[in-house]
Amino acid sequence: MQRIFLISAIMWLSTAWATADDIEFTASAPANVSVGERFRITFQVNAQPTDFSAPDFDGLRVLSGPSQSSSTSMQVINGQMTQTVSVSYTYILEATREGRFTIQPATARIDGTLQRSNDVTINVGAATTPPPSASPDQSAAQQDPQASAQDLFVRATASTLSPFQGEQVIITYEILTRVGISQYSIDKLPSYRGFWSENLTQPGQPQTRTQVINGETYRVAEIRRVALFAQRSGEITVEPIEVNMVVNLPGDRRRQSLFDEFFGDSPFGQRTIRQTVKSNILTLNVKPLPVQNRPVAFTGMVGTGFDVTANISATELNPNDAANLRVTISGNGNLRMLEKPDFNFPTNLEVFDPNISDNIRNTVSGIAGSRSFDYLMIPRTGGEFVIPPFNFVYFDPARNQYISRNTPEFVLKVEGDPSQPGTVPGSISQENIRLLGTDIRYIHSGPITLFNKGTVFYGSRLFQILVLAPFTLFLFFVIYWRNHIKLQSNQQLLRNKKAEKLARKRLKKAKTFLDKKQENEFYDEIFRALWGYLSDKLSIPVSILNKETVAGAFKSQKVPQELSESFINTLKDTEFARFAPGEKEDRMAEIYNKALQTIVTIEKDLRSKKK
């Protein structure tokens, strides 16, 4: 789990890298200097530049530089890592004359794009204090002859004058003298245009030795040693360095003995002068690397004695466990230019960008050491993963041929099924990987219907109307319907109440017909009484009354089965009796009683329900 966390942290870092597009590239220098004053100009950039080139310092003398320094700071806040890189190039300049100088912007390539710094304007005023060279003894010395070129000179020698492109050339600067020197300082270092340069000078006092040239014995002191790597082929000139020395001239007395101290105190009677000596100019004829027999895997490394080793921390592991592959390349050559090996890793193996660790030494004999690349690998599925050998090719200028070195092949055995992807803990980092490969979708290309800013339907006047309108409608509807129903039910109630009375009235009428023996009128009235009663009581229009609807209506009013049956039977009997043969008067009386009985019992039943 912790490991996964580390990995996501690393990944975070790499995404932070990729998105760091706020590049600041600044040049800073003092605004006002005086003639003869030494000052520094610093170009600072907050990313790792690949191709820095300084402007021409017209009218200003470059004493030394560029000296490069870089710093990296890492901050972890709330579990989030932010990294800031700062690289600066510093030049020491000297103002030689009065005036206003504008230093053009420096350029550097950062993440593939060319970036420019700001320009700097420097006002050079008149010398306020005498420059250090104008010391009293210097003015005295100016009238005197200086040490001759035979007595004192600076020699630059190269380890080879016709190197291959990228081959290490060691330039040695020596002071050769037959006079005493008590002090020296390097005033101006060349810019080594066309070269990658590395300083090999060991700190401390230079060692001296003697050398006989043309029969004269010189004391020789090596003051500086530089390793140069030509970046292009053709003739490249190495500009001279300037060395400022305090020279002890023997004056009128005879020459100092050979065995005097080289840097010793000046003996009595000597004159001390300050003198600037330039070295000789070297011209290197850089040969291009042979095209013939150049292997495809060659990436530009030139040197001798290269070797490559690889080892792996584990070859048997579980899915989602990490293994470390370390590739170390060692030898003599420009190891700082060495790029990461181009491995062909299996796709199901998750491999992170390598962690680079250097063990590179600047020795007197050149740059040597090793550079290691640590690959963190995490298999996401089970199975066997073959890590192919890495083929490292370099050019050996001594043997004038390309030499190839191989790492062994490794086989990672991971437990589990190759087709089953292992569960991936820490899905947050997984999602990041997936999304980094995606792009945004295309724009909405159809016509766009625009509306005024801030217009929202919700809460608008229209919305309020649309909410209130149905309510109002609803209210009106309810009121109207209520009234309608009330009216109807009033009528019904009235009829309901009057139903029995009306029935009795009709029965009474039937009774008179019975007494008069008017058969037809009697039956009509009985029918009217029965049907009318039902219609009023059950609120069913007479037009749709029949035995079925009556039965249904009785049921819904919860009238007992036998009552509803007896009513229907009475109806049937009445119908039947009308046309049946036999004693008419008795039957009429019987029907009359039956009808009366039925109405009374039903009325009683319905009344009792109402209560």
Binding site for another protein (CB under 8 A): 12, 15-16, 19-22, 75, 77-78, 80, 82, 428, 431-432, 435-436, 438-453, 455-459, 462-463, 466-467, 470-471, 473-474, 477-478, 481, 485
Token pair in block for residue 479: 């009121």
End-to-end CA distance of the chain: 80
Nearer to another protein, 78 or 543 (CB): 78
Nearer to another protein, 344 or 455 (CB): 455
* Length of the chain (residues): 611
Q: For residue 123, which of 50, 33, 57 has the smallest C-alpha distance?
A: 33
- Taking the complex as a whole, how short is the minimal distance between the CB of residue 450 and another protein, in angstroms? 4
Q: For residue 408, which of 391, 392, 389 has the smallest C-alpha distance?
A: 389
- Taking the complex as a whole, how short is the minimal distance between the CB of residue 457 and another protein, in angstroms? 4
Token pair in block for residue 514: 């019975």
Q: Which residues contact 193 (CB under 8 A, 6 or more apart)?
A: 236, 239
Backbone angles phi, psi at 547, to 5 degrees: -65, -35
Nearer to another protein, 2 or 19 (CB): 19
Q: What angle do CA 272, 276, 280 make, to 5 degrees?
A: 135
Token pair in block for residue 60: 């200003």
Instruction: Measure the CA–CA gap between 502 and 535, rounded to whole angstroms.
Output: 12
Nearer to another protein, 126 or 448 (CB): 448
Decide: 366 and 168 in contact? Cβ < 8 Å.
yes
Nearer to another protein, 5 or 477 (CB): 477
- Taking the complex as a whole, how short is the minimal distance between the CB of residue 30 and another protein, in angstroms? 27
Nearer to another protein, 25 or 192 (CB): 25
Sheet containing strand 316-317, strands side by side: 316-317, 410-414, 383-387
- Taking the complex as a whole, how short is the minimal distance between the CB of residue 471 and another protein, in angstroms? 7
- Taking the complex as a whole, how short is the minimal distance between the CB of residue 444 and another protein, in angstroms? 4
- Taking the complex as a whole, how short is the minimal distance between the CB of residue 492 and another protein, in angstroms? 13
β pairing state of 410-414 and 316-317? parallel
Q: Which residues contact 73 (CB under 8 A, 6 or more apart)?
A: 83, 84, 86
Nearer to another protein, 465 or 494 (CB): 465
Token pair in block for residue 9: 């942290």
Q: For residue 241, which of 154, 150, 133 has the smallest C-alpha distance?
A: 154
Instruction: Measure the CA–CA gap between 512 and 526, rounded to whole angstroms.
Output: 12
Instruction: Measure the CA–CA gap between 404 and 391, rounded to whole angstroms.
Output: 7
- Taking the complex as a whole, how short is the minimal distance between the CB of residue 137 and another protein, in angstroms? 54
- Taking the complex as a whole, how short is the minimal distance between the CB of residue 473 and another protein, in angstroms? 7
- Taking the complex as a whole, how short is the minimal distance between the CB of residue 44 and another protein, in angstroms? 17
Nearer to another protein, 149 or 456 (CB): 456
Nearer to another protein, 291 or 440 (CB): 440
Token pair in block for residue 254: 């005879």
Cis peptide before 288 (omega within 30 of 0): no
Instruction: Measure the CA–CA gap between 491 and 512, rounded to whole angstroms.
Output: 30
From the centroid of its chain, how far is CA 294? 39
From the centroid of its chain, how far is CA 440? 14
Instruction: Measure the CA–CA gap between 489 and 472, rounded to whole angstroms.
Output: 26
Instruction: Measure the CA–CA gap between 492 and 302, rounded to whole angstroms.
Output: 117
- Taking the complex as a whole, how short is the minimal distance between the CB of residue 414 and another protein, in angstroms? 29
Nearer to another protein, 259 or 451 (CB): 451
Nearer to another protein, 161 or 478 (CB): 478
Nearer to another protein, 31 or 448 (CB): 448
- Taking the complex as a whole, how short is the minimal distance between the CB of residue 9 and another protein, in angstroms? 11
Instruction: Measure the CA–CA gap between 40 and 126, rounded to whole angstroms.
Output: 18
- Taking the complex as a whole, how short is the minimal distance between the CB of residue 13 and another protein, in angstroms? 11
